[in-house]
């Protein structure tokens, strides 16, 4: 089958943009931890690229997009990328045709675009258990999680034979697969590894370098265009729609967060603007290719406000989600997944129609997808964490926490300033 040059150019550049998001995330998170743990944060994120890339090529891609096994997981036919090439084979085209999807980019382009999603998803979790999870434990978790949690859920939702795909659950660019999935996993691990020493009372737990966090925000925003618009898998009107929606939700998300905190806390903050933008981006992710522009405004605004309000829950509930992965990704992801079921309209994308388009049932499907992801990811992550705890332990010792993980775990110091 013919490949489209324009679509290939677009998807490749979008894949590069999505890869750039993981360093972006590293800086976003790295700026928020204490100075003594910034390198540990960067390391967990950068190293995720290595781990997931290796596994994805060897087996992960095949598990996610290989020939279906009961809607739950792909087969091993594509292990080591066997049969995945520079063009589009009939075999490949037929597989997608079953889901009414027409592929116009080389198989390897699809593979690598999807790989970038597989990378950032476990990386998102690192914010929750920051400043105390052993590097060794993280590496092991990333290996297991990537295969046992990410690949199956990606299969359910994005493989043409996945059970949620067939059910008609809508997830344009990863509300369930990426954000809810990572968000619930992050919560489980954060609970199991326990609170940081001194949390929450110590004034030490302030971000050590907010400009670094803002840099991360800028890169994330930039890369997210690749994430969402690239999910159209072609340079077409739908990609444009997703692009526009993504931008609007990010901008309005920041507005929402800043305005609500301005009212509540008396000050508009840069961290608030950054957080709100990311919240908006998270929430629009599943919806980007299904809803009209005004709905993106609503989704962004709600995400900014709801995620801000949810941050305080951790203080009440007493779980130490260091960098608010739960409030931003889990809550933002659920919000976005459900609102996709509300605001999707056929006029934007023939494939999806929600409550306001007269299809109330869609909301149920969305809720089911959310629930299934929560349950599966939550349980399997817990098992993984138990296993990892048994094998290498989860938490660094107290001295490491005092001295900082950069020195103790990585023998490095982030800044040597005169």
Partner 1 sequence: MKQVVAVIKPHKLDDVKDALKEAGIQGMTVVDAKGFGRQRGQTEVYRGAEYEIEFIPKIRIELVVAESQLDAAVEAIRSAAQTGKIGDGKIFVIPVERALRIRTGEEGEDAL
Cβ proximity to partner 1, 171 vs 261, nearer residue? 261
Asked whether position 312 contacts partner 1 by CB under 8 A, the answer is: yes
Distant-in-sequence, close-in-space partners of 183: CB < 8 Å, separation ≥ 6: 124, 325, 326, 328, 329, 330, 331, 332, 333
| Residue 402 contacts partner 1 per CB under 8 A | yes
169: left (phi > 0), else alpha (psi -120 to 50), else beta?
beta
Tokens at 147, concatenated: 């295969």
69 three-state secondary structure: strand
Q: Which residue has the tokens 């075999």?
A: 91
Least Å distance, CB 220 to partner 1, is 17
Contact 176, 153 (CB under 8 A): yes
324 binds, among partner 1, its own copies, none (CB under 5 to 8 A by kind): partner 1
* Cβ distance to partner 1 smaller for residue 143 or 403: 403
Q: In angstroms, what is the minimal distance from the CB of 266 to partner 1?
A: 8
Q: Report how far residue 284's alpha carbon sits from residue 302's, in angstroms, rounded to the nearest whole number.
A: 11
Minimum separation from the CB atom of position 382 to its own copies (A): 26
CB closer to partner 1 out of 82 and 197: 197
Q: Which does 312 bind (CB under 5 to 8 A by kind): its own copies, partner 1, none?
A: partner 1
Residue from 207, 286, 333, 352 binding partner 1 (CB under 8 A): 207
Q: Phi/psi at 73 (nearest 5 deg)?
A: -155, 150
Sequence-ordered list of residues with C-beta below 8 angstroms from that of 94, at least 6 positions apart, any chain:
none
Q: Does 418 bind partner 1 (CB under 8 A)?
A: yes
Give the DSSP H/E element, type plus range, for residue 68. Answer: strand 68-69
Least Å distance, CB 265 to partner 1, is 5
DSSP, res 4 = P
* C-alpha distances out from residue 74 to 77, 169, 227, 391, Å: 8, 18, 23, 28
Distances (CA, A) of 283 to 14, 68, 171, 229: 20, 29, 11, 15
Q: Peptide bond before 200: cis, by omega within 30 degrees of 0?
A: yes
DSSP, collapsed to helix, strand or coil, labels residue 34 as: coil
**Nearest alpha-carbon partner for 25 in 226, 174, 208, 215:** 215
In this complex, which beta carbon is closest to its own copies, that of residue 188 or of residue 274?
Answer: 274
Q: Does 407 bind partner 1 (CB under 8 A)?
A: yes
Query: Of these partners, partner 1, its own copies, none, which one is at the site of residue 263 (CB under 5 to 8 Å by kind)?
Result: none
Stretch that binds partner 1, among 334-342, 365-373, 384-392, 405-413 (CB under 8 A): 405-413
The rounded Cα 166 to chain-centroid distance in angstroms is 22
Contact letters for partner 1, residues 264-303 (x by CB under 8 A):
xx-x-x-xx--x----------------------------
CB of 186: closest distance to its own copies in angstroms?
A: 21
Shortest CB 98 distance to partner 1, Å: 45
Which span (47-55, 64-72, 260-268, 375-383) binds partner 1, by CB under 8 A?
A: 260-268
Residue 403 site contact among its own copies, partner 1, none (CB < 5 to 8 Å, cut-off depends on kind): partner 1
Would you say 54 or 202 has its CB closer to partner 1? Answer: 202
Written as six digits, the tokens of 203 are: 């004034």
The residue range among 129-137, 164-172, 329-337, 401-409 that interacts with partner 1, by the rule CB under 8 A, is: 401-409
- Report the residue number, 42 or 334, with the smaller CB distance to its own copies: 42
Which positions lie near partner 1, rule CB under 8 A? Answer: 200, 202-204, 206-207, 261, 264-265, 267, 269, 271-272, 275, 308, 311-312, 315, 324, 402-403, 407-408, 411-413, 418
């Amino acid at each position: 089958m013919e490949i489209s040059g324009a679509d290939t150019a677009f998807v490749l550049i979008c894949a590069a943009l999505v890869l750039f998001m993981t360093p972006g995330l590293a800086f976003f998170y790295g700026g928020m931890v204490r100075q003594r743990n910034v390198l540990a944060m960067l390391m967990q994120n950068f190293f995720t690229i290595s781990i997931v890339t290796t596994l994805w090529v060897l087996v992960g891609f095949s598990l996610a997009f290989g020939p279906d096994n009961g809607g739950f997981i792909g087969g091993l036919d594509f292990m080591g990328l066997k049969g995945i090439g520079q063009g589009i084979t009939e075999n490949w085209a037929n597989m997608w045709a079953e889901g009414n999807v027409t592929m116009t980019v080389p198989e390897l382009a699809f593979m690598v675009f999807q790989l970038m999603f597989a990378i950032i998803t476990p990386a998102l979790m690192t914010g929750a258990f920051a400043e105390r999870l052993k590097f060794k434990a993280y590496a092991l978790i990333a290996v297991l999680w990537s295969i046992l949690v990410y690949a199956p859920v990606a299969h359910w939702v994005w493989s043409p034979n996945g059970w949620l795909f067939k059910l008609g659950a809508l997830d344009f660019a990863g509300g369930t697969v990426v954000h809810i999935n990572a968000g619930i996993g992050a919560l489980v691990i954060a609970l199991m590894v326990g609170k940081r020493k001194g949390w929450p009372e110590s004034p030490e737990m302030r971000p050590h370098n907010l400009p670094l966090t803002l840099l991360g925000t800028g890169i994330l925003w930039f890369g997210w265009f690749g994430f969402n618009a690239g999910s159209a898998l072609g340079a077409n009107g739908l990609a444009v729609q997703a692009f526009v929606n993504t931008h609007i939700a990010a901008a309005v998300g920041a507005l929402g967060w800043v305005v609500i905190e301005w009212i509540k806390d008396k000050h508009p903050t840069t961290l608030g603007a950054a957080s709100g933008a990311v919240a908006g981006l998270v929430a629009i992710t599943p919806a980007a290719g299904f809803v009209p522009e005004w709905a993106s405004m609503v989704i962004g605004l709600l995400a900014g406000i709801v995620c801000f309000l949810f941050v305080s829950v951790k203080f009440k509930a007493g779980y130490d989600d260091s960098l608010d992965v739960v409030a931003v990704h889990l809550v933002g992801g659920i919000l976005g997944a459900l609102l996709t079921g509300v605001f999707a309209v056929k006029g934007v994308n023939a494939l999806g129609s929600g409550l306001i388009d007269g299809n109330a049932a869609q909301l149920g499907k969305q809720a089911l997808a959310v629930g299934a992801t929560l349950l599966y990811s939550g349980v399997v992550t817990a098992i993984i964490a138990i296993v990892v705890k048994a094998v290498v332990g989860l938490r660094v010792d107290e001295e490491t926490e005092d001295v900082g993980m950069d020195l103790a775990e990585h023998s490095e110091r982030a800044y040597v300033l005169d």
